[in-house]
Amino acid sequence: MHIKGSQTVNFAMDNAVITKEEELLKKKQELERELKKQQKMTEQLKREAEAAKKRMEAEQEALKIQLTCLKIAGRIMVGDKVPGKDHQYLVKHDPSLYGKALLMKITKENPKEHKQLSGEEENNARSSHHASSELQNETAVDIKI
């Protein structure tokens, strides 16, 4: 009888060990599922970040073009001499602004002669910050007649 009792205890201990192993296996499987879920989310975030970066670069380029157009239009409006390629650039990128600049153009006795802006923009020779601060300085100077 003593043997039967110890077998019952061993059986109960075996069941407890199996139950613990099952719990550990379930936890491991759950952690693996969670890891896969996290990896998928990470991949999705990387794709979204890359798409956002591309959109930002495209918007940045569009803003550089718009800034160059505004600078050219400003020069035209104050009556300065603007290179023909800048006129063409403005017509190509913002024909409406070009028309408005011509309508608002004033006549100057001694117009300032400017270098071509559109070539600098296309070659990315200037940073947008430098270009915008230069626009503010030129506008202040060019308005004086």
Domain ranges of the chain: 2-142
Is the pTM above the cut of 0.85? no
Q: What is the sign, positive or negative, of the torsion defined by CA atoms of 26, 32, 35, 40?
A: negative
Residue-level pLDDT at 13: 60
Residue-level pLDDT at 144: 35
Q: Write phi, then psi, for 106 (nearest 5 degrees).
A: -105, 160
Residue-level pLDDT at 14: 62
Q: How many CA atoms lie within 13 A of 3 on its CB side?
A: 0
Residue-level pLDDT at 19: 84
Rounded average pLDDT per 10-residue block, the chain, 145 residues: 53 68 91 96 96 96 96 96 95 96 93 86 48 43 36
